[in-house]
A and B are shown apart, each in its own frame.
Chain A
Amino acid sequence: MSVALASDYSPEIAMDPVIHFSNVSLAIGGRHILKDINLDIARGEFVAIVGPSGCGKTTLLRLLAGLASPSSGSILLDGTPVRSPRQNVAVVFQDYGKALLPWRTASGNIALALEAMNVPRHQWPDRVAELLTVMGLEIDGDKRPGEMSGGMQQRLQIARCLAQQPSVLLMDEPFGALDAITRQVLQDEVLALAERTGMAVFFVTHDLEEAIYLGDRVVALSANPGRVARTFPVDLPQPRHQLTTREHPTFLELRHDLFSFIKGGAAK
């Protein structure tokens, strides 16, 4: 029985975190943007980060991506400090329109990642076709981003990230600019993708319901300076379902807690 319990261990206290923040602070010009962040993320865990605007959610993601360095503390990825971008960490940006090469086709945009990774050129067509298929873009390979809808462009950006075969996927408000229906479809696809590939997802969002729906855990940051204010484990049945999950009593309860918590923090 104890063996079974060990395997069901709650991710927050997992023994083997893929990401380990310890006392991470970032100060710019004497002002603390982030202060004493301590956070562990387990392999394959889906962590949603929420908080008021200006609390440093995106900055935290950038530190993790190796696009910026903390002033103090350390971030360990697979046990080694993050100092620059890593092969196995991919980033999905919110502004897909700016993150894709407008003069390249969908296939060409994916090939960019393969080329950056020095994948031999003769392997590109197969890999590109496979990634397009994974994201449901198999017939759109020859379209340029300008000829695709917002949802398709974001799928393309995700496909390009998957080319890196990431063990950690960082997503910075990826669905914030999409319409409600497209957003729900993509939420479910990302969940399925994370489940299938076993990658950990670090999902920054300002949409609290989205955070609860997606996350194994919701981490709420508070602002000035950005700190981990509270962590909410999400104990909802998998797989998630857009109707039943969102109507689940636990979902509603969490939603209530999270809303009042964030609202209380904002009022302070």
Chain B
Amino acid sequence: MSQPAPIRPPIRAAWQMRIDPRPFALPLVAIGLAELLALRFVPTDSFSLAAPHQIAVDFVRLLVDGTFLSRTLETLGAALAGLALGGLLGLALGVALGLSEVLDRVTSMTVEALRPVPPTALIPLSLLVFGFGLTMEIAIVAFTTIWPVLVLSRAAVRETEPRLMEVAKVMRMSFGRRLTRIVIPGAIPRIFVAFRLAAAIALIVAVTVEIVANPRGLGYGMMLSSQSLRPAASFAFLVWIAIVGWAFNQTLILLERRLFGDLSRAAR
């Protein structure tokens, strides 16, 4: 009568996987082409473009002298702090609105009106209220990340299996226990997806705020290189930001697979 447990492929970290070389072909060809074009058309002292080898030189310099590291910590710090604040607020609101139809109806118009406000539009106001610095950046990231977490956790809570709620009723389970034993554990995998999406958004918003206004972090570093007419450094920052963004997202995906690879371990 017993069935064997389903066989799952083992979860491996990115660096443990055998690397498929094919996806690297296109970027390598593009870089090679850019190098050829740059050698032909771009003067070495250009103020607008830089050859790949110049970018590589600046990249190594910025990596070695610690500029990348310190600026990355500033940006990630703001992004994560904003995500924590906005994500928790969004989660609390999302769970409450998912549970209470009345509350949802009362707030739905407000939520729909606030949700599409572009984060950049908050920069002037945020500058007035908080001034330059960490707080202002956190505030904008928090405001932006509330919404995806709210909407997805609200949907996750609302889709709790109705049969399970009946089982809870028949058992005369208290409201608090229904929430902590059934609703939240059932919604957790999707809540984590919400946080993963919000984390990607948080990083984008943090860098944007730094480029537009805030004199700190990776965005500002990129802006500074561009304003001091060093395109190679500016490009190097761009490459670094892409790497940070990719690593950040990979970490989250890996974490998600570890935790919810099978929908399990959550409660017991």
Closest to A182 in B: B1
With A and B bound together, what is the CA distance between A98 and B160 in angstroms? Answer: 10
Whether B3 and A147, one on each chain, are in contact in the complex, defined by CB atoms closer than 8 angstroms, is yes
Interface SS, A side: loop
Task: Kindly state whether residue A115 has any CB partner on chain B within 8 Å.
Answer: yes
- Neighbouring A residues of B1 by C-beta, 8 Å: 149, 151-152, 182
- Which among A24-32, A88-96, A239-247 touches the partner chain? A88-96
Whether B185 and A115, one on each chain, are in contact in the complex, defined by CB atoms closer than 8 angstroms, is no
Whether B170 and A152, one on each chain, are in contact in the complex, defined by CB atoms closer than 8 angstroms, is no
Shortest Cβ distance from residue B184 to the other chain A in the assembled complex, whole angstroms: 11
Closest to B3 in A: A149
- Which among A6-14, A102-110, A190-198, A217-225 touches the partner chain? A102-110
With A and B bound together, what is the CA distance between A89 and B172 in angstroms? Answer: 10
Task: Kindly state whether residue A125 has any CB partner on chain B within 8 Å.
Answer: no
CB < 8 Å neighbour of B267 from A65, A66, A104:
A104
Chain B contact residue count (CB 8 A cutoff): 29
Closest to B185 in A: A103
Whether A102 and B263, one on each chain, are in contact in the complex, defined by CB atoms closer than 8 angstroms, is yes
What are 29 A-B contacts defined by CB distance under 8 Å?
A: A65-B170, A66-B170, A67-B170, A89-B170, A90-B170, A91-B166, A93-B167, A98-B161, A98-B163, A99-B164, A101-B164, A101-B181, A103-B264, A103-B266, A104-B267, A104-B268, A105-B268, A112-B173, A112-B181, A117-B171, A117-B172, A143-B2, A146-B6, A146-B262, A148-B2, A148-B3, A149-B1, A149-B2, A182-B1
One digit per residue, 1 when the CB lies within 8 angstroms of any chain A CB and 0 when it does not, for chain B 153-169 equals 00000000101101111
- Neighbouring A residues of B174 by C-beta, 8 Å: 116
CB < 8 Å neighbour of A95 from B2, B6, B163:
B163
With A and B bound together, what is the CA distance between A102 and B167 in angstroms? Answer: 14
Task: Kindly state whether residue B186 has any CB partner on chain A within 8 Å.
Answer: yes
Q: A91-B170, A99-B164 are in contact. Are A108 and B3 (CB under 8 A)?
A: no
Identify the interface centre among B164, B166, B167, B169: most chain A CB within 10 Å of its CB.
B167
Considering only residues 1-48 of chain B, those with a C-beta below 8 Å from chain A are 1-3, 5-6
With A and B bound together, what is the CA distance between A151 and B2 in angstroms? Answer: 9
Whether B264 and A144, one on each chain, are in contact in the complex, defined by CB atoms closer than 8 angstroms, is yes
Task: Kindly state whether residue B177 has any CB partner on chain A within 8 Å.
Answer: yes
- Neighbouring B residues of A101 by C-beta, 8 Å: 164, 181-182, 185-186, 267
Q: Which 6 A-B pairs have the closest CB atoms?
A: A116-B171, A98-B163, A116-B173, A108-B268, A103-B266, A91-B170
Task: Kindly state whether residue A113 has any CB partner on chain B within 8 Å.
Answer: yes
With A and B bound together, what is the CA distance between A89 and B265 in angstroms? Answer: 30
Considering only residues 240-268 of chain B, those with a C-beta below 8 Å from chain A are 262-268
- Neighbouring B residues of A52 by C-beta, 8 Å: none
- Neighbouring A residues of B185 by C-beta, 8 Å: 101, 103
Identify the interface centre among B164, B169, B170, B266: most chain A CB within 10 Å of its CB.
B170
Task: Kindly state whether residue A164 has any CB partner on chain B within 8 Å.
Answer: yes
